[in-house]
Amino acid sequence: MRRPAAAPPSLILALVLLAVVTGLSACTPGTRQRTGPPINITPRAARSTVIAVIPGGPPNPFVNGLVAATARPREDVELLQATRPARVLAASMSPAPVRAVVAGRPLPPGSGATSFQRAEYAKRLRHWETLYSARRTAVAAETRAAVSRWARSLFGAPQADPGSPGRPATSLAAECSIAASEVTELQETGGSLGGRRVVLLYVSRLNRVRMPGELTGDKVIVLTPFLPSAAAAAAAESDLRAAGATWAVVLGTGVPAPQLRNLVTAGLARTTVARPLPAPALFRNGSAVLRPAAARVLAPLLRALRRPGAVAVIIGYASSPGTARANRLLSQRRASAVARYFAAHQVDPAALTVVGQGATRFVGPGPSAANRRVVVLVADPLG
């Protein structure tokens, strides 16, 4: 009788290894590599609006550069020529953030896992975290690039003039009316615009504004080709706030471009935290020199101000005694002193903008010390 042929040694070894691996898999719990649900890392971007009203002609490079430097995803931009009727020079919405989904986070092995399985999980987790961080960075860069391309393409060749451009309306009242009408039209056609709206006005005359409620929710920045007196600037700002502006700033000739960019950025930020700082804790009466104890009030803000991309608008206020000019200058010097403290403690000076509002926005009776204060608006980075 013939005996069956013996199996080759290599086949026997392969069968033994298969049995060992199968046995280990059968008796060791939690060996399957599990992951959580996919994760959406698309940047958040609430809708925002920038409306710029200029006295005449196509937008100049300064306006173009400002829009490009402060642009963010899902932003409506309206550039209007101050004519009667207003002429639209450019109107567009920036692209939405880049959408991206990454694989879910690795889940830890079960309670009966071996040390080898726990080590393997830790290695997988580190690898996933590296990939996740890299993808987040890439998505942010892709979003910024898309917005940048949009901003560069926004200002093409000047539109053909449909007729007489009309008489330039460069007074503050006329340009406010144009901006308010445009906001109303945007709301009617596109729904709610939220509270992230900035209105830029380039005016030659700071006349009185009487339009209660028409600027509600707007942050208004007014630029003039001259240096207005403290009293005229304060009166214009007061009128704009009475018209509903959340805050208003009047700036004269020679405003630095970084300061203007910071103001626009703060107005459009997803989150802007107001930090009121009582002046008695910072300054002696009538002084703009920080007291030694002021560090206890200012130091807690440093962490937020040092974040990459963060900007701050430092606004000084004064109480009613004294002239409008003196109060405005004192409030500006106090805000500048706070900015110098931040800059001396590793905060980028280019991220700080100083505004003196004088005796406005009272929080107590006119002479009250509560009105002598500094408010720091800390805005989240763009994005």
The rounded distance, in Å, linking the Cα atoms of 172 and 53 is: 10
pTM: 0.71
User: Under CATH, what is the fold of the domain 270-383?
Assistant: 60s Ribosomal Protein L30; Chain: A; (3.30.1330)
The confidence score (pLDDT) of residue 343 equals 93
The confidence score (pLDDT) of residue 148 equals 85
The confidence score (pLDDT) of residue 225 equals 83
Residue 181 has pLDDT above 90, yes or no: no
| Domain 34-268 class, CATH top level | alpha beta
Range scoring the smallest mean pLDDT among 33-42, 50-59, 102-111, 190-199: 190-199
Residue 222 has pLDDT above 60, yes or no: yes
Do 272 and 365 meet the contact criterion of CB atoms below 8 Å apart? no
Q: Where are the domains of the chain?
A: 34-268, 270-383
Give residue 83's pLDDT band: very low, low, confident or very high (50, 70, 90): confident
Structural element, H or E, at residue 148: helix 115-154
- Alpha carbons within 13 angstroms on the beta-carbon side of residue 344 total 9
Q: Considering the chain, what is the average pLDDT of its residues?
A: 77
Give residue 169's pLDDT band: very low, low, confident or very high (50, 70, 90): low
The confidence score (pLDDT) of residue 276 equals 77
Range scoring the smallest mean pLDDT among 58-67, 199-208, 231-240: 58-67
Give residue 122's pLDDT band: very low, low, confident or very high (50, 70, 90): very high
- The span from the first CA to the last CA of the chain, in angstroms, equals 85
% pLDDT > 90, the chain: 11
The owner of tokens 């009475």 is 242
Per-residue pLDDT tens over the stretch 143-156: 988 988 888 887 65
The confidence score (pLDDT) of residue 163 equals 42
The rounded distance, in Å, linking the Cα atoms of 152 and 337 is: 38
Do 93 and 25 meet the contact criterion of CB atoms below 8 Å apart? no
Ranked by mean pLDDT, the top range of 160-164, 213-217, 271-275 is 213-217
Residue 158 has pLDDT above 60, yes or no: no
Q: Which residue has the higher pLDDT, 82 or 357?
A: 82
Per-residue pLDDT tens over the stretch 8-59: 555 444 444 444 344 444 344 444 568 889 999 887 777 888 888 887 665 5
61-86 b/e (C-beta count within 10 Å ≥ 16 → b): eebbebbebbbbbbbbbbbbbbbeeb
Distances (CA, A) of 237 to 112, 171, 323: 69, 14, 16
Q: Is 163 left (phi over 0), alpha (psi -120 to 50) or beta?
A: left
- 209: nearest Cα among 242, 167, 248: 242
Angle between helices 61-70 and 257-268 in degrees, nearest 10: 40
Range scoring the smallest mean pLDDT among 120-124, 235-239, 336-340: 235-239
